[in-house]
Structure 1
Amino acid sequence: MVLKLEKMNILDKIIERKKQETAEAESKISVEKLKDSEFFGRPTFSLKETIRTKSGIITEFKRKSPSKGIINNKVSPLDVVSQYEKFGASAVSVLTDEDFFGGSFDDILSVRNHINIPILRKDFMIDEYQFYEAKSIGADVILLIAACLSPTQVSEFTDLAHSLDLEVLLEIHSEEELKHINKDIDFVGINNRNLKDFKVDLQHAADLKNQLPGNILSIAESGIYHEEDFRFLKEKGFDGFLMGEYFMKNENPGEKFGEFVSNVEI
Structure 2
Amino acid sequence: MARRAGSVPPFRGALQGRQVGVIAEVKRSSPSRGVINPGLDLAAQVRAYEAGGAAAISVLTEPTRFGGSADDLVLARKSVALPLLKKDFHVDVSQIFEARVLGASAALVIARAVAPGRLKDLITAGADVALEILVEVRDERELDLALSLNASLIGVNNRNLETLELDAGTSLRILPLIPRGVVAIAESGVKSAADVKRFADAGADAVLVGSELSGARHPEAVARSLTGVVRTGGARKG
Q: What TM-score results when the alignment is normalised by the length of structure 2?
A: 0.88
Match in the other structure for 1:255: 221
Alignment of 1:198-217 (within 5 A): 198-217=164-183
C-alpha RMSD over aligned residues: 1.9
| 3-state DSSP of counterpart to 2:186 | strand
**Is the 1:44–1:165 contact (alpha carbons within 8 Å) kept by the matching residues of 2?**
no
**Amino acid in structure 1 at the alignment position of 2:92:** D
Moved more, 188-197 or 217-226: 217-226
Match in the other structure for 1:58: 23
The total of aligned residue pairs comes to 228
* Alignment gaps of 5+ in structure 2: 232-238
| Residue of 160, 163, 174 corresponding to 1:194 | 160
**Is the 1:80–1:252 contact (alpha carbons within 8 Å) kept by the matching residues of 2?**
no
| Residue of 107, 122, 137 corresponding to 1:142 | 107
| Residue of 29, 41, 48 corresponding to 2:4 | 41
Q: What TM-score results when the alignment is normalised by the length of structure 1?
A: 0.80
- Max radius of gyration: which structure? 1
Match in the other structure for 1:109: 74
* Alignment gaps of 5+ in structure 1: 1-35
1:247 positional shift: 1.2
Cα deviation per residue 1:1-48 (whole Å; 9 max; x = unaligned)?
xxxxxxxxxxxxxxxxxxxxxxxxxxxxxxxxxxx2xx6336121112
State the distance in 2 between where 1:114 and 1:249 align: 19
| Residue of 154, 157, 160 corresponding to 2:119 | 154
Bigger RCO of structures 1 and 2 (CA < 8 A, at least 6 apart): 2
**Amino acid in structure 2 at the alignment position of 1:253:** P
State the distance in 2 between where 1:223 and 1:116 align: 26
Cα deviation per residue 1:163-197 (whole Å; 9 max; x = unaligned)?
11101110001222123213531211000111111
State the distance in 1 between where 2:16 and 2:177 align: 22
1:55 positional shift: 5.0
**Amino acid in structure 2 at the alignment position of 1:144:** V
Match in the other structure for 2:141: 176
